[in-house]
């Protein structure tokens, strides 16, 4: 029962006392009470101190978990705080401590684009997991341009709305990182930062892409394409470099016409794959928006955000969505035998594609299907990040597994150590592994006798259980 006290003091209401009946001063209460009720003001630290029989400064030290306060005193004061439903004023404490207990996170793209890619929800889950343990809150910034992102981050730090910043993408010549370093603000970058020694959490993206390309070379592929990301992102540069290194080590010339860039979106990935596999068909085609909306946005996001049974259910939903999109758009199934290794324009087409990201790989799979190419019989496809949807698409997608959640944890831990003045590493490199599933197989010319040659008998098999651990890492 709530009783409004004209005096504005906190009062306690006896059990079974009707509204407007007897009440007494909380500070002199000497019997077992029901619960504290708020009159016209919130409880203060002085109310807690008076009730607990200590000074306000002692209550403040208990809130800060000061080691010089005895356990008995801490327990008594905390019991009174719970009884009074007292919560420390976070704004007042931040003014005293000159800290906000808040970490800023720069998504480096719009929320719509970021959350549609399974990488970002997972890394945010890792950051939030450690921040919660360390009693930090998170503030996200989203921007559609680099200038807007830099302005938002500058405002967060100069206005003291956050204590430090985690930047979720590293770029070539990034003015934001330059400004952060030159002004001495605590920050951590996810990815390698060229030309600067700044705190960062990274994976060896070059080695990861090299290992992925070597896997295709080991299966006899000699015509391997690369579907990359924006060229100003370090991850795009590093993974492209690994792809080139693997080809050069195998004595295979790098063919510029086999390399395309995308913005990580389903639509651009779909069109890029069609340009590589059949440029004449690509010029006359518009990508089906429905598949992209289902597979690369809603379904992927639900599968990444969920855990346990929820994740399994979400992944099953993605599988159903992908299966529903399996209707062929090219020749009839009776006409589709093993596709020739030549494109319609007479040029050699790639027999395998390395996609910089699993979301990109989904667009590649759809393009191959719509062109009447079977995966992996006619073209092998390999992605990055081993997203939760990879085992559930058709065929199950081979991918380089990156410890994305652990990257978020490591970045948050590194920033918190900086904020607390604790010594810690300036660089953390996390490993990765190649997960082989049914989307990669022998090159068409190298296929062993007896393999299916028509679509009707080439049903996708179960995921390959073996994992090739190469000691590499990725985005």
User: Is residue 178 domain-shared with residue 213, that is, in the same domain?
Assistant: no
User: Is residue 456 domain-shared with residue 318, that is, in the same domain?
Assistant: yes
In the chain, % of residues over pLDDT 70: 67
User: Is residue 190 domain-shared with residue 209, that is, in the same domain?
Assistant: no
pTM for the model stands at: 0.68
* Residues 6+ positions from 303 with CB-CB distance below 8 Å: 118, 311, 314, 315, 317, 318, 387, 388, 389, 392
User: Is residue 381 domain-shared with residue 339, that is, in the same domain?
Assistant: yes
**What residues are paired with 401 via a beta bridge?**
385, 433
Task: Taking residues 113-135, report their average pLDDT.
Answer: 90
On whether residue 19 sits in a domain, the answer given is: yes
User: CATH code at 75?
Assistant: 1.10.260.40
User: Of 77, 96, 115, which marks where a domain is finished?
Assistant: 96
On whether residue 6 sits in a domain, the answer given is: no
Task: Convert the pLDDT of each residue in 127-139 to its tens digit.
Answer: 999 999 999 999 9
Looking at 326-426, which runs of residues are DSSP E strands? 352-355, 380-385, 398-401
**What residues are paired with 137 via a beta bridge?**
102
As a whole number of angstroms, the distance between CA 129 and CA 459 comes to: 41
User: Of 202, 233, 264, which marks where a domain is finished?
Assistant: 202
User: Is residue 195 domain-shared with residue 220, that is, in the same domain?
Assistant: no
On whether residue 1 sits in a domain, the answer given is: no
On whether residue 425 sits in a domain, the answer given is: yes
As a whole number of angstroms, the distance between CA 31 and CA 434 comes to: 67
On whether residue 5 sits in a domain, the answer given is: no
* Contact by Cβ (8 Å): 124, 406: no
As a whole number of angstroms, the distance between CA 172 and CA 471 comes to: 26
User: CATH code at 175?
Assistant: 3.40.50.2300
User: Of 169, 202, 235, which marks where a domain is finished?
Assistant: 202
* Contact by Cβ (8 Å): 276, 349: yes
On whether residue 399 sits in a domain, the answer given is: yes
Strand (E) or helix (H) holding 361: helix 358-370
Task: Convert the pLDDT of each residue in 153-202 to its tens digit.
Answer: 999 999 999 999 999 989 998 999 999 999 999 999 999 999 889 999 99
Task: Convert the pLDDT of each residue in 63-93 to its tens digit.
Answer: 878 888 999 999 999 999 888 888 776 555 4
pLDDT at 170: 92
**What residues are paired with 165 via a beta bridge?**
104, 187
User: Is residue 63 domain-shared with residue 32, that is, in the same domain?
Assistant: yes
Sheet holding 467-472, edge to edge: 259-261, 224-228, 352-355, 380-385, 398-401, 432-435, 467-472
Residue 118, classed as helix, strand or coil, is coil
Report how far apart the first and last C-alpha atoms of the chain are (Å, whole number). 56
User: Is residue 294 domain-shared with residue 256, that is, in the same domain?
Assistant: yes
Task: Convert the pLDDT of each residue in 265-301 to its tens digit.
Answer: 899 999 999 999 987 655 555 555 434 433 433 333 3
Task: Convert the pLDDT of each residue in 309-320 to its tens digit.
Answer: 444 443 444 444
Task: Taking residues 1-5, report their average pLDDT.
Answer: 36
Judged against a pLDDT cut of 70, whether residue 114 lies above it is answered with yes
On whether residue 417 sits in a domain, the answer given is: yes
On whether residue 3 sits in a domain, the answer given is: no
As a whole number of angstroms, the distance between CA 392 and CA 319 comes to: 5
Give me 461's structure tokens: 């098999």
- A 10 A CB-CB count for 298 gives 15
User: Is residue 198 domain-shared with residue 214, that is, in the same domain?
Assistant: no
Judged against a pLDDT cut of 70, whether residue 304 lies above it is answered with no
User: Is residue 220 domain-shared with residue 188, that is, in the same domain?
Assistant: no
As a whole number of angstroms, the distance between CA 270 and CA 362 comes to: 8
CA trace torsion 296, 301, 302, 304 (10° rounding): 110
Give me 122's structure tokens: 């997972």
User: Is residue 147 domain-shared with residue 185, that is, in the same domain?
Assistant: yes
Q: How confident is the model at residue 42 (pLDDT cuts 50, 70, 90)?
A: confident
As a whole number of angstroms, the distance between CA 301 and CA 295 comes to: 9
Boundaries of domain holding 143: 105-202
Task: Convert the pLDDT of each residue in 394-420 to its tens digit.
Answer: 999 999 999 999 999 999 999 999 999
User: Is residue 182 domain-shared with residue 251, that is, in the same domain?
Assistant: no
Judged against a pLDDT cut of 90, whether residue 428 lies above it is answered with yes
pLDDT at 11: 45
Task: Taking residues 452-459, report their average pLDDT.
Answer: 30
As a whole number of angstroms, the distance between CA 1 and CA 160 comes to: 41
* Residues 6+ positions from 13 with CB-CB distance below 8 Å: 1, 2, 3, 23, 34, 37
**Structural domain count of the chain:** 3
User: Is residue 180 domain-shared with residue 142, that is, in the same domain?
Assistant: yes
């Amino acid at each position: 029962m709530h009783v409004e006290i004209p005096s504005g003091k906190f009062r306690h209401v006896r059990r079974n006392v009707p509204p407007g009946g007897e009440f007494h001063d909380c500070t002199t209460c000497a019997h077992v009470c029901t619960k504290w009720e708020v009159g016209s003001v919130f409880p203060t630290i002085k109310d807690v101190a008076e009730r607990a029989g200590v000074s306000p400064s002692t209550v403040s030290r208990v809130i800060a978990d000061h080691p010089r306060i005895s356990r008995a005193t801490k327990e008594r004061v905390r019991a009174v705080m719970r009884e009074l439903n007292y919560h420390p004023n976070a704004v007042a404490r931040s003014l005293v401590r000159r800290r906000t207990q808040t970490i800023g996170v720069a998504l480096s793209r719009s929320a719509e684009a970021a959350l549609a890619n399974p990488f970002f929800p997972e890394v945010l889950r890792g950051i939030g997991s450690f921040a919660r343990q360390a009693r930090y809150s998170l503030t996200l910034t989203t921007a559609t341009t680099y200038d807007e992102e830099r302005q938002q981050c500058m405002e967060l730090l100069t206005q003291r709305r956050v204590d430090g910043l985690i930047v979720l993408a590293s770029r070539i010549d990034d003015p934001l990182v330059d400004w952060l370093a030159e002004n001495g603000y605590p920050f951590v970058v996810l990815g390698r930062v060229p030309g600067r020694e700044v705190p960062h959490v990274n994976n060896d993206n070059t080695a990861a892409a090299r290992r992925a390309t070597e896997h295709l070379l080991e299966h006899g592929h000699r015509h391997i394409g690369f579907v990359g990301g924006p060229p100003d992102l370090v991850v795009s540069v590093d993974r492209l470099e690994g792809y080139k290194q693997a080809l050069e080590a195998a004595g295979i010339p790098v063919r510029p016409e086999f390399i395309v860039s995308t913005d990580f979106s389903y639509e651009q990935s779909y069109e890029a794959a069609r340009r590589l596999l059949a440029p004449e068909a690509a010029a006359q085609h518009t990508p089906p928006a429905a598949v992209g909306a289902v597979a690369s946005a809603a379904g992927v996001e639900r599968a990444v955000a969920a855990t346990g049974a929820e994740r399994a259910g979400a992944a099953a939903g993605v599988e159903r969505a992908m299966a529903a999109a399996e209707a062929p758009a090219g020749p009839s199934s009776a006409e589709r035998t093993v596709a020739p290794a030549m494109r319609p324009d007479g040029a050699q087409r790639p027999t395998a594609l390395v996609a910089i990201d699993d979301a990109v790989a989904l667009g590649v799979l759809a393009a191959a299907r719509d062109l009447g190419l079977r995966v992996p019989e006619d073209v092998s496809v390999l992605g990055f990040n081993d997203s939760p949807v990879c085992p559930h698409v058709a065929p199950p997608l081979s991918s380089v597994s990156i410890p994305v959640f652990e990257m978020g944890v490591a970045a948050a831990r590194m920033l918190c150590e900086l904020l607390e003045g604790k010594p810690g590493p300036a660089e953390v490199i996390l490993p990765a592994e190649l997960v082989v599933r049914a989307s990669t197989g022998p090159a068409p010319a190298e296929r062993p006798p007896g393999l299916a040659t028509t679509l009707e008998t080439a049903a996708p098999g179960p995921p390959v259980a073996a994992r090739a651990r190469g000691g590499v890492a990725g985005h």
